[in-house]
Copies of this chain bind each other. A is one copy, B any other.
Amino acid sequence: MSKHPWLTIGTDHPFGPHHLPYGSFAHGSGEPRLGVRIGDHVLDVEAAAAACHRDTRPYQGGNLDPLLAAGPQEWAQTREWLADLLGDEDRADVLAPHVHPVDDVVMHLPFTVADYVDFYASEHHASNVGRIFRPDSEPLTPNWKHLPIGYHGRSSTVVVSGTEITRPSGQRKAPTDETPTFGPSVKLDIEAELGFVVGGRTRLGEPVPVESARDHLFGVVLLNDWSARDLQAWEYVPLGPFLGKSFATTIAAWVTPMAALGPARVDLPTQDPQPMDYLRGEAAQGLDITYEVDWNGTVVSRPPYATMYWSPEQMIAHMTVNGATLSDGDLFGSGTVSGPEPATRGSFLELSWNGSEPVELEDGSSRTFLEDGDTVTFRATAPGEGGPLHLGECTGTICPAR
Contacts and interface: CB of A to CB of B under 8 A. Distances in A.
Interface of A: 114-116, 120, 130, 133-134, 141-143, 146-147, 149-157, 159, 163, 166, 168-171, 173, 179-180, 182, 204-207, 228, 231, 234-244, 246-248, 273, 276-278, 318-319, 321-327, 330, 402
Contacts of A330: 156
Given A143-B180, A180-B276, 19 more contacts: A115-B156, A141-B238, A143-B234, A147-B180, A152-B242, A157-B325, A166-B205, A182-B276, A182-B277, A206-B402, A228-B322, A231-B322, A236-B239, A239-B240, A243-B318, A243-B321, A246-B319, A247-B323, A248-B323
| Majority secondary structure of chain A interface residues (helix, strand, loop or mixed) | loop
Contacts of A277: 182
A91 B130 CA distance: 67
Contacts of A141: 237-238
A157 B204 contact: yes
A308 to B, nearest CB: 16
A205 B402 contact: yes
A280 B203 CA distance: 43
Contacts of A154: 115, 152, 324
A240 B151 contact: yes
Given A154-B152, A156-B114, A146 B324 contact: no
Contacts of A173: 142-143, 146
A169 B278 CA distance: 11
Contacts of A242: 149-152
Contacts of A182: 276-278
A205 B396 CA distance: 15
Given A143-B234, A146-B171, A204-B166, A322 B247 contact: yes
B238 A239 contact: no
Nearest to A153: B152
Given A157-B204, A182-B277, A278-B182, A151 B239 contact: yes
Give 10 nearest A-B pairs by CB, closest first: A240-B240, A168-B322, A152-B152, A166-B205, A151-B239, A247-B322, A243-B322, A239-B240, A246-B324, A156-B327
Contact of A168 (B238, B276, B323): B323
Nearest to A149: B239
A26 B146 CA distance: 45
A205 to B, nearest CB: 4
B152 A321 contact: no
A46 to B, nearest CB: 24
A169 B327 CA distance: 20
Indicate the member of A143, A159, A228, A330 with the most B CB atoms within 10 Å: A143
B235 A322 contact: no
B238 A240 contact: yes
A321 B180 contact: no
A133 B324 CA distance: 25
B151 A115 contact: no
A326 B155 CA distance: 11
A390 to B, nearest CB: 28
A236 B238 contact: yes
Contacts of A180: 143, 146-147, 276
A248 B325 CA distance: 9
